[in-house]
Amino acid sequence: LFNPLADGADFVELYNPGTAWYDLYGWQVSSGSSTRAIDSHLLLSPGGYLVLTPDPLNISDTYPYAVRENLFAFNLPTLPNEAGAIGLYNGNGTLLDTVRYDETWHFAYLRDVEGVSLERLVTLSSGLERSNWASAAGSEGYATPGYANSQQLPAGGRQLLSVSPQVISPDGDGRDDLCRITLQPANPASLVSLVIYNLQGQAVRELANNLSVGSSATFVWDGTDSSGSRVALGHYMVVAELFTTSGQTERHRIKVVVATGF
């Protein structure tokens, strides 16, 4: 996060994709013109995340999903809002990773990129590739400090739109009262609209309207319409429309049945 909200704080997140533990004491973070050394014994576990920021409290207040125990106070080098660089060196002075970022890497449809972090799409692909970065999803508050990125390219074979269960009985008995709708866009630069229709083609409930989502997002339908009333028994269509910054539009649908309890 190089362009925080007014009175906000920058952060740099580290992720360990390997199987070894690392003590970051003596490691350095550099912007090219200035370098800061980590002077405490921070342990980075396998699959773990560490967020370096001058103001952990500000980050946790700004991003309510932030994992507080993964936020650490650290005086980062200056990160310009328009463009800059950041590199990570181990205790031997070996450059481990680097990125030269630019604000134009953000999604074009965002009106304001203040407070929006850039997220790496493929962990083991180069951080120097513009195509390997995307704006964090609006559904996650535009940043995921201390936990998995909202934007990650999905593995092959994943179903783009799915529901579970496909038959619901919203009668309050605690069994199959809710339908979980999972969306996994192939293109991370997507805006999503998600609407429930009856078989007459009438929209009964809107769950999302041009919402930016990550590589996976989950919505819940409780069998009610836009007024909060329970819908009639029968078949309904969940329709997802995806719009990408390249101008492509995708439309996907899947059926849900509203029934009585058995």
Report the C-alpha gap between 33 and 141 in whole angstroms: 31
Q: Which two tokens stand for residue 112?
A: 């304001």
Spatial contact of 4 and 114, defined as CB atoms under 8 Å apart = yes
DSSP-assigned states of every residue in 114-135: TTPPEEESSTTS-TT-GGGEEE
Strands (E), 136-233: 161-164, 167-168, 179-183, 190-198, 203-212, 217-221
What DSSP state is assigned to residue 141?
Answer: T
Spatial contact of 254 and 162, defined as CB atoms under 8 Å apart = yes
What DSSP state is assigned to residue 58?
Answer: H
pLDDT, tens digit only, all 262 positions of the chain? 999 999 999 999 999 988 899 999 999 999 999 999 999 999 999 999 999 999 999 999 999 899 999 999 999 999 999 999 999 999 999 999 999 999 989 887 788 999 999 999 888 878 888 878 888 888 889 999 999 988 776 444 456 888 988 899 887 666 788 888 988 877 666 789 999 999 888 999 999 998 888 777 889 898 999 998 889 999 999 999 988 766 778 888 898 999 975 4
3-state SS assignment for residue 103: helix
pTM of the model: 0.66
